[in-house]
C-alpha cells in the first residue's frame, strides 16, 4: 500500500444547499477555500441521483440514472486535483422509503438537505492516469 | 454551500453498550461530556432497528420497523443542539445474514456491539426550523 | 457507553494496491507504522469479497463469498490489537453495476483500487474476549 503521512490543516462543517448539485457544491467550496487535499463524510437526502459503475474489464464507466427521492446514508469521499480542477471523488449509499438501497460512485444528485464534515490536509494530492486500471489515481 | 471553519477539539473512542439504544447512548455521552458540535463514525451490530424516511413532498417522516439482527456498516452522523437537547443525527446502513441491506435515518436500534470515533469541534451547532424543507437544519 | 478521550496523533492518506487484499494491506501498513489505535474511512472498488455475518444467537460467524466486481461505498473501520497482531476491523458496503448492494463485516477482498484516510490516536486499543457477546471487544 502506498501511503503518505499528512499534517491536518483546516476543518469545516457545511450545510449543503437545497436544490443544488451535491458534488458540484463540494467542488465549488474546495475551489473557494483553495483546498488541495481533504477527506469528507456527510449525510443528507437527495431528490435524484446519477451513479457511475466502473466496469473493471471494459475499463469504462457505465451510468445509472435514478429519478427518485433518497436518504444519503452516507457520502464518503475526498478532494484532490484532477487535471486543472479540484475533483470530489464521492461514493454514496442511498435509501428509499422502504429502506431498500442503491450505492455507487456519485456523478450528480440534487440536494434536498445535506451535512458535511471536511478534513483538509497540508498536502497537494493530484490524480494521474494509472495504466493498470485506466483510472486517475494518486501516486503517493 | 454554507460552511464554517471549525477548530478541532476533543476526540473520543467509544464502545457502545450491549442491550442499550444506539442513538440514546451517543446523546447521553454528548450530554455528559458537554459536546456542542461533533461528527462521528462507527460500526457494529444491532438486534433491531427503527428507521425514518423523510417524505420530501409531504414533508413528514414515515417510520420503518425491522425486528431483525443486522450488522451496522456503518453509522455516520453528527451531534448538535435541537431545542433544549443534544441530538445525534445518525444515518446507518444495516445488513442481514445474506448480505442484503437496508439504510436510512436512525431512530432507535438495540445495540449488540458498537465502536465509535467522535470528533468534537470548538463550536456550538444548533438546529432551527428551515422553511423550505420543513427540517431542522444548521444556519452556518 | 464506555469511552475514552484520545489525543490525535499521525494522519495518513493511502492508495491501496491493485490485486492485493484490502484488509491485509491495512494491517501490514499498521504493523509497518506501529499504529496501535486508529479509525479509518475509505472508498474504492474490489473484484471479489468475502464477508462475515455474526449470528447473534449462535454467537458464531457465517461466511458469505461473492465472486463479483463491486464499488466499495464505503469502508469504515478501526485498527487495534487482537492477540499478538494488529487487526483492521472493517465494515463495508459494496455495490454492483445495477446499483444493488451487499454489506457486512469484511474478511477478504481483492482490491481493484482504493483510497483511505487513517486517523491514529496516542493510545493502545486492545481487544479482549467479551462474555456477553462472545466477540473480542475493547474494555475502555
pLDDT in tens, B61-109: 999 999 999 999 999 999 999 999 999 999 999 999 999 999 999 999 9
Q: How far is CA A120 from the centre of its chain?
A: 14
Per-residue pLDDT, C140: 83
Degrees (nearest 5) of the Cα angle C34, C38, C43?
110
CA distance B5 to chain A (A): 4
Query: Which positions ≥6 away from A137 have C-beta within 8 Å?
Result: A127, A128, A130, C15, C113, C115
Residues of A with Cβ-Cβ distance to B103 under 8 angstroms: 71, 73, 93-95, 99, 101
Task: With CB atoms and an 8 Å threshold, state whether A71 touches B137.
Answer: no
Residues of B with Cβ-Cβ distance to A7 under 8 angstroms: none
Task: With CB atoms and an 8 Å threshold, state whether A26 touches B119.
Answer: no
Strands A101-108 and A49-55, how do they pair?
Answer: antiparallel
What averages of pLDDT result for each successive group of 10 residues across chain C (140 residues)?
97 98 98 98 98 97 98 98 98 98 98 98 97 94
CA distance A98 to chain C (A): 14
Q: What is the pLDDT of residues A56-108, one digit of tens each?
A: 999 999 999 999 999 999 999 999 999 999 999 999 999 999 999 999 999 99
Per-residue pLDDT, B32: 98
Instruction: List domains and CATH numbers for chain C.
Output: 11-121 (3.30.1330.80)
Q: Quick check: ipTM above 0.85?
A: yes
Question: pLDDT confidence of A41, banded at 50, 70, 90?
Answer: very high
Question: pLDDT confidence of A140, banded at 50, 70, 90?
Answer: confident
Tally Cβ neighbours within 10 Å of residue B34. 8
Question: pLDDT confidence of A133, banded at 50, 70, 90?
Answer: very high
Distances (CA, A) of B24 to B37, B136, C7: 16, 19, 25
Query: C-alpha grid cell for residue B112?
Result: 449488540
- Judge whether residue A50 has pLDDT over 90: yes
Q: Which residue of B has its CA nearest to A22?
A: B1
CB C53 within 8 A of CB C105: yes
Per-residue pLDDT, C25: 98
Neighbours of chain A (3+ CB pairs under 8 A): B, C
Q: What is the pLDDT of residues B22-32, one digit of tens each?
A: 999 999 999 99
Task: With CB atoms and an 8 Å threshold, state whether A74 touches B78.
Answer: no
pTM of the model: 0.98
Amino acid at each position: 500500500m502506498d501511503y503518505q503521512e499528512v499534517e491536518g490543516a483546516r476543518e469545516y462543517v457545511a450545510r449543503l444547499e437545497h436544490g443544488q448539485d451535491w458534488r458540484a457544491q463540494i467542488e465549488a467550496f474546495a475551489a473557494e477555500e483553495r483546498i488541495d487535499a481533504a477527506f469528507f463524510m456527510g449525510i443528507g437526502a437527495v431528490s435524484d441521483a446519477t451513479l457511475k459503475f466502473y466496469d473493471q474489464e471494459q475499463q469504462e464507466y457505465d451510468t445509472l440514472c435514478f429519478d427518485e427521492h433518497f436518504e444519503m446514508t452516507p457520502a464518503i469521499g475526498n478532494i484532490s486535483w484532477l487535471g486543472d480542477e479540484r475533483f470530489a471523488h464521492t461514493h454514496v449509499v442511498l435509501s428509499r422509503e422502504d429502506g431498500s438501497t442503491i450505492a455507487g460512485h456519485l456523478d450528480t444528485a440534487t440536494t434536498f438537505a445535506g451535512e458535511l464534515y471536511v478534513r483538509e490536509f497540508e498536502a497537494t494530492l493530484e490524480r494521474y492516469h494509472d495504466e493498470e486500471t485506466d483510472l486517475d489515481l494518486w501516486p503517493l
